[in-house]
Structure 1
Amino acid sequence: MSQQLKQDITLLGGIGQLSTTLLGTGLFMIPAIAANIAGEWSLWAWIILLFAICPIALTFALMGRQYPNAGGTAYFVRQAFNSKMERSVAWLFLSVLPVGIPAAITLAGGFGKELLPHFMSYQYLAELFTLALILILTLLGSKSSSQFQVLIALSIFALVAVFFWQGDISLNDIAMPRLNTSAVLPIGLALAVMFWCFVGIEAFSHMGEEFKNPQRDFPIAIVLGCFLAGFIYWACSVVILKFHAFEPNINSHSSIPWLSEQLLGNKLAIGITLIGYFACFSSINLYTQSMIRLVWAQAREYRPTSTMATLSKRGVPTVATFLVTIVLFLSISFGHLVNLNLELLVKLANSVFVMLYLLAMLSAFRLLTGFAKYLAGFSTLLCTIVFLCLGWSMLYAITIFSLLMLPWKKWLNTSKKIENEI
């Protein structure tokens, strides 16, 4: 039997899949959060981020084409450095679990509670319902349909276009504000949150060999997919700024439903709610599945006889699934107890994602040659700048990665040796 993946992804299909991945949960919270942080200067922040992400995306494309492997960034790091660093990167990615996915579930819960019966219409219950649905789908061995994701993406594009039309957006509304020294700090703080919107390029970079014409179409799909998603984010921000649909007027996760009600009335309210919920759910499901499989893959690699490395009859890593679900349940419950806000969770998750991107770019700089090496070097610089923009929240990723890089195994073996001698 051939081990070759089917090459059936077209250029348009690739653009659609990437833009869907990038939009996901981001459109329903990040433009409002960015507007709250930087005001009208957030329009400049989107343009800066878009041009900064392009060389990073191209570097991922080159690495994915030259080093295709399901290990993602962890595999790149292993090729460039060593297996110890590979394991640290893998577990660093898992540290997003208690902050990143709960942030997305919080957003999905905002839409989901509107779909529940009135007596159950509570944020916490809607979040638990979403988590339970993910658990059930995972145990059944179901996979998200790419056609369904593309349909959601088209619905999002149409929604933003309708907002532009009904909002009577004029040339004055899209005029870029004048920049000055006062804009530097707000734009930097906004960028720290907005990076969330371009998380997912790393996963897409490993689909290169599935394109019909990977040498031509794969890099184009990444660039155009990023630009398309970036334009949608920018356009949505224009509408949000015009109608002041951000805090303190409107909660960040409620900005799109509020705009829909203001511009379209209640007639399409249920449709908007469904689009929002399923867009969020698709992204949450994708990342939850990837983390479950990463836990299982690490167990298979380093503890092959453990129960964590076993699969069910349906081919599902059941123990890893329940472990991830329990962590998410505890994270969601803890967030409600201490009232963690969405912006804080996004910043903590972004610190991990930016560090992962930075490590991937450093690996590319060591592995690639010629023009690609210079591109990777420039991308490393850009990731470093974005990482510094995170401010205090970058300490989350630095602390976890530093702890993971400590020689715990060596210390444990030394301790056991001393005990045996005694």
Structure 2
Amino acid sequence: MKSRFSGRAKKEITLWSGLGQLSTTLLGTGLFMIPAIAAGIAGEASLWAWLILFVAVIPIALTFAALGKRYPSAGGTAYFVRKAFGQRMERSVGWLFLSVTPVGIPAGVALAGSFGKQLLPTPLDNTLLAELITIGLLVMVNLMGSKSSARIQTVIALAICALVSLFWVYGDVSTADIKMPVLTSDSILPIASALGVMFWCFVGIEAFAHMGEEFKKPETDFPIAIILGCLFAGAIYWSCSVVILKFHAYGTEELAAGSIPWISEQIFGSKGAILISLIGYFACFASLNLYIQSLSRMAFAIAKNSHPNAKMAVISKRGVPAYATLTISAILVICSFIGEVLGIDLEALVKLANGVFVLVYLLAMLSAYKLLTGMNKVLSLTALVITMLVFACLGWASLYAIAVLFSVHFLRNGSKLLLVASKK
């Protein structure tokens, strides 16, 4: 795979194209499940949770922007951590990122399955079957070496924006529906719990941060694109939450994954629900395809560095890490069956995945505090404190990420020390 940073990057990104790319990345699958899940946790107080999250994410985004401009690398957060804390910690972050495979990606597959189920004929409209079909299509697309079109994703993002606007117009949303509820002491814990889930919506900022040198005017347009992109995506999420609260489209496992199609059917009838299912399915598929590509290449990179002769470190004739792709896909199939048998809901999967993402962000902010200077150092400290608070909001879900990091960093390196000692 050709690296974006091999040679001199072309300065082709404008303010508006950068804004469109970041907005598309942030909207992703989140709009189709997170507002309903957040409403199920905090009710009307989730509107306050969204505002808190918008304010909190700006320092994090700007810190990533500063890191991306000073240390441009396709290695992402793992590279920042390496610059700050060494190669051993870099490997640990790589494994930590891979640990999202059995929890975060199945959540996206489950959401795609809920949409795909609506598109299957009546005898076959089974969620598990729709999930397996989705995984099969992902394998085919990835093994062929296809890449998701940025233009198609932008069209999907615009379709989502148009959809939310239509909900407001034809759903008869009034000023009474957007009145912020009164905050009480009883709403603090639900808001904190909702924040632990809602962070999913702003995963992807770290990837965009590495595009700074590709802007025509990086010093001005790059940070503006990050701020406006976050605010634009946040406004869409908040607007969608208002509609979900108005129609009471939350509170059950079915609505957590299907609130948007359900609302569409209430407003536009069954034909509208089918159209929304198509938009939702392709939006989920595009996001999942990018994640599978990213994870398979991360697995390939780790295998190449540690076991260069292993099958996992082999690239196919099409330039694809085929064995890594098949391995990750096999894990998804197993997780889909486990989720069906145990009845694991989306909220639990999203929280576990967020534990990984927030810990990765936390390590990035810690690296930024060590690497950056001046006002950027102060900004990174603010972002570090915010990230720590979000991590605390995850509660029990943070234990998964902590256990993974401990296992791959301390236990793995501890076993090496024991091996060396035994040889002596």
Q: CA deviation at 1:118?
A: 2.4
1:108 aligns with one of 112, 117, 123:
112
Matched, 1:354 2:358: yes
Identify the range of structure 1 (194-203 vs 398-407) with the bigger mean alpha-carbon deviation. Answer: 398-407
Matched, 1:149 2:165: no
Paired residue for 1:43? Answer: 47
Q: How far apart, CA to CA, are the structure 2 residues paired with 1:400 and 1:250?
A: 30
SS at match of 2:199: helix
Paired residue for 2:282? Answer: 278
Matched, 1:341 2:341: no
Q: How far apart, CA to CA, are the structure 1 residues paired with 2:405 and 2:166?
A: 44
Paired residue for 2:26? Answer: 22
Q: How far apart, CA to CA, are the structure 1 residues paired with 2:183 and 2:93?
A: 38
Q: CA deviation at 1:293?
A: 0.6
Identify the range of structure 1 (261-270 vs 46-55) with the bigger mean alpha-carbon deviation. Answer: 261-270
Paired residue for 1:180? Answer: 184
| Contact 2:253/2:345, CA 8 A, preserved across alignment | no
Alpha-carbon spacing, 1:8–1:180, altered in 2? closer, same or farther (3 Å): same
Q: How far apart, CA to CA, are the structure 1 residues paired with 2:139 and 2:252?
A: 35
Paired residue for 2:167? Answer: 163
Paired residue for 2:329? Answer: 325
| Contact 2:45/2:191, CA 8 A, preserved across alignment | yes
TM-score normalised according to structure 2 size:
0.96
Q: How far apart, CA to CA, are the structure 1 residues paired with 2:69 and 2:417?
A: 39
Alpha-carbon spacing, 1:413–1:362, altered in 2? closer, same or farther (3 Å): closer
Which one-letter code corresponds to 1:287 in the other structure? Y
Matched, 1:220 2:215: no
Which one-letter code corresponds to 1:349 in the other structure? A
Alpha-carbon spacing, 1:292–1:40, altered in 2? closer, same or farther (3 Å): same
Gaps of 5+ in 1: none
Q: How far apart, CA to CA, are the structure 2 residues paired with 1:248 and 1:140?
A: 38
Paired residue for 1:243? Answer: 247
In the TM superposition, what whole-angstrom CA distance separates every residue of 1:81-113 from its partner, at most 9, and x where no partner exists?
011111001100111000000001000001111
Moved over 6 A (4+): none
Paired residue for 1:68? Answer: 72
Within 5 Å, give how 1:77-116 maps onto structure 2: 77-116=81-120
Q: How far apart, CA to CA, are the structure 2 residues paired with 1:18 and 1:121?
A: 34
Q: CA deviation at 1:246?
A: 0.6
2:390 aligns with one of 386, 391, 397:
386
Q: CA deviation at 1:307?
A: 2.0
Q: How far apart, CA to CA, are the structure 2 residues paired with 1:322 and 1:277?
A: 22
Q: CA deviation at 1:130?
A: 0.6
Matched, 1:204 2:208: yes
How many residues are treated as equivalent by the alignment?
420
| Contact 2:104/2:352, CA 8 A, preserved across alignment | yes
Q: CA deviation at 1:267?
A: 3.1
Which one-letter code corresponds to 2:141 in the other structure? L
1:415 aligns with one of 393, 404, 419:
419
2:138 aligns with one of 131, 134, 149:
134
TM-score normalised according to structure 1 size:
0.97
Q: How far apart, CA to CA, are the structure 2 residues paired with 1:154 and 1:248?
A: 28
Paired residue for 1:7? Answer: 11
Q: How far apart, CA to CA, are the structure 1 residues paired with 2:64 and 2:236?
A: 22
CA-atom RMSD in angstroms: 1.6
| Contact 2:262/2:273, CA 8 A, preserved across alignment | no
In the TM superposition, what whole-angstrom CA distance separates every residue of 1:4-45 from its partner, at most 9, and x where no partner exists?
222211111111111111111111111011111101000000
Q: How far apart, CA to CA, are the structure 2 residues paired with 1:164 and 1:3?
A: 47
Paired residue for 1:193? Answer: 197
2:234 aligns with one of 193, 216, 230:
230
The percentage of aligned residue pairs carrying the same residue is 57
Q: CA deviation at 1:302?
A: 2.7
Which one-letter code corresponds to 1:61 in the other structure? A
SS at match of 1:87: helix
1:368 aligns with one of 372, 375, 392:
372
SS at match of 1:114: helix
Q: CA deviation at 1:407?
A: 5.0
In the TM superposition, what whole-angstrom CA distance separates every residue of 1:66-89 from its partner, at most 9, and x where no partner exists?
111111111100000011111001
Alpha-carbon spacing, 1:119–1:73, altered in 2? closer, same or farther (3 Å): same
Q: How far apart, CA to CA, are the structure 1 residues paired with 2:296 and 2:262?
A: 35
Gaps of 5+ in 2: 1-5
